[in-house]
């Protein structure tokens, strides 16, 4: 009996010990809390944090832009980069008209003056045939001669315009007048060269050789006018890199023809060069070098 009561007392004490923490949490007083220390810590934190927050907010208000925002002004500071590979499309409307005119001239030459055109093309590489055509023509200006030279002026002027457009020469705009000016420049230079050769032939004692050289010059120019046609079509209507290949390919063809023409010219006047060195030098300066210098000067002036 006493044993049962003792067990009840022990069980009651254990139950009271387990329930005491719950009763302590529900009460108003927590024996583990230190009120004075907590208040001191809160006061010190408030004294330190409040000025920092205020200063940070003031700086945010005075900022002019956000460097991390997608519309930041820093994006506009990037330098301008210009694409030099492709300068844009050529004005295809009137360039197409120029190509059509060249095609019509080529068709007329091939159909109405086919035999004469064939002899001219063959005389490009055959010296004897060139001399034969020169003697048979006897200084006459035929219809084929005028048409072929007109085709040369248009082709060379259009190619010169395409070069200036590609290399962004300031004086050449997208207007058709720029192309017409290039064509007129080529025509005036070649007309002035032939007139100058005629005057030199009257003054110098070798007028036959000068006249033959002038005819050879006309033949080579006519060949250039025909050869440049495919290069003009590719350069005007295709993008890079085909445009660049066509332009530099045309320059290479012109240089090769010019070197070949120079060799043929030296062969015509080789027996006079030793005796007339000064006159030959004067010819080079006035007829061959002066037009190139004038072209460079004009482009530099307008640039």
Q: Residue 84 pLDDT more than 50?
A: no
Q: What pLDDT shows up at residue 172?
A: 73
Q: 201-214: per-residue pLDDT in tens? A: 887 777 888 889 89
Residue 165's pLDDT band, with cuts at 50, 70 and 90, is confident
Residue 167's φ and ψ, nearest 5 degrees, are: -90, 10
For the chain, what is the domain count? 2
Instruction: Output the average pLDDT for the chain.
Output: 74
Q: What pLDDT shows up at residue 260?
A: 93
Q: Residue 21 pLDDT more than 80?
A: no
Enclosing domain of residue 258: 92-302
Q: 268-278: per-residue pLDDT in tens? A: 877 777 676 77
Residue 20 shares a structural domain with residue 128: no
154 vs 61, more confident: 154
In a domain, 191, yes or no: yes
Q: 227-246: per-residue pLDDT in tens? A: 999 999 999 888 888 999 99
In a domain, 70, yes or no: no
Q: What mean pLDDT is predicted for residues 31-44?
A: 55
Nearest 5°: the CA angle 169, 170, 176 is: 85
In a domain, 200, yes or no: yes
In a domain, 57, yes or no: yes
162 vs 17, more confident: 162
In a domain, 67, yes or no: no
Residue 255's pLDDT band, with cuts at 50, 70 and 90, is very high
Q: What pLDDT shows up at residue 156?
A: 95
Residue 231 shares a structural domain with residue 147: yes
38 vs 94, more confident: 94
- Alpha carbon of 107 to those of 18, 147, 196, 197, 299: distances in Å? 117, 11, 32, 31, 34
Residue 260 shares a structural domain with residue 174: yes
């Amino acid at each position: 009996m006493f044993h049962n009561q003792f067990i009840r007392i022990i069980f009651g004490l254990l139950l009271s010990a387990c329930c005491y923490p719950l009763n302590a949490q529900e009460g108003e007083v927590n024996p583990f809390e230190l009120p004075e220390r907590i208040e001191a810590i809160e006061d010190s934190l408030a004294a330190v944090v409040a000025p920092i927050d205020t200063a940070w907010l003031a700086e945010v208000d005075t900022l002019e832009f956000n460097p991390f925002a997608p519309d930041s002004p820093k994006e506009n500071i990037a330098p301008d980069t210009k694409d030099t590979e492709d300068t844009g499309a050529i004005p295809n409307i009137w360039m197409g008209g120029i190509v059509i005119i060249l095609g019509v001239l080529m068709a007329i030459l091939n159909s109405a003056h086919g035999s004469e055109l064939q002899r001219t093309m063959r005389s490009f590489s055959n010296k004897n045939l060139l001399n034969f055509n020169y003697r048979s023509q006897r200084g006459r200006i035929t219809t084929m001669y005028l048409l072929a030279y007109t085709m040369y002026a248009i082709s060379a002027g259009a190619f010169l315009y395409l070069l200036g457009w590609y290399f962004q020469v300031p004086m050449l705009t997208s207007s058709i007048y720029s192309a017409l000016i290039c064509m007129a420049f080529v025509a005036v230079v070649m007309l002035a060269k032939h007139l100058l050769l005629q005057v030199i032939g009257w003054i110098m004692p070798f007028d036959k050789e000068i006249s033959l050289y002038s005819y050879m010059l006309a033949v080579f120019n006519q060949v250039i006018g025909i050869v440049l046609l495919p290069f003009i079509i590719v350069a005007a209507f295709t993008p890079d890199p085909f445009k660049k290949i066509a332009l530099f390919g045309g320059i290479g063809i012109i240089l090769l023809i010019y070197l070949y023409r120079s060799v043929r010219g030296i062969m015509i006047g080789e027996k006079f060069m030793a005796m007339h060195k000064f006159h030959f030098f004067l010819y080079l300066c006035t007829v061959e070098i002066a037009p190139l210098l004038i072209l460079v000067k004009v482009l530099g002036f307008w640039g």
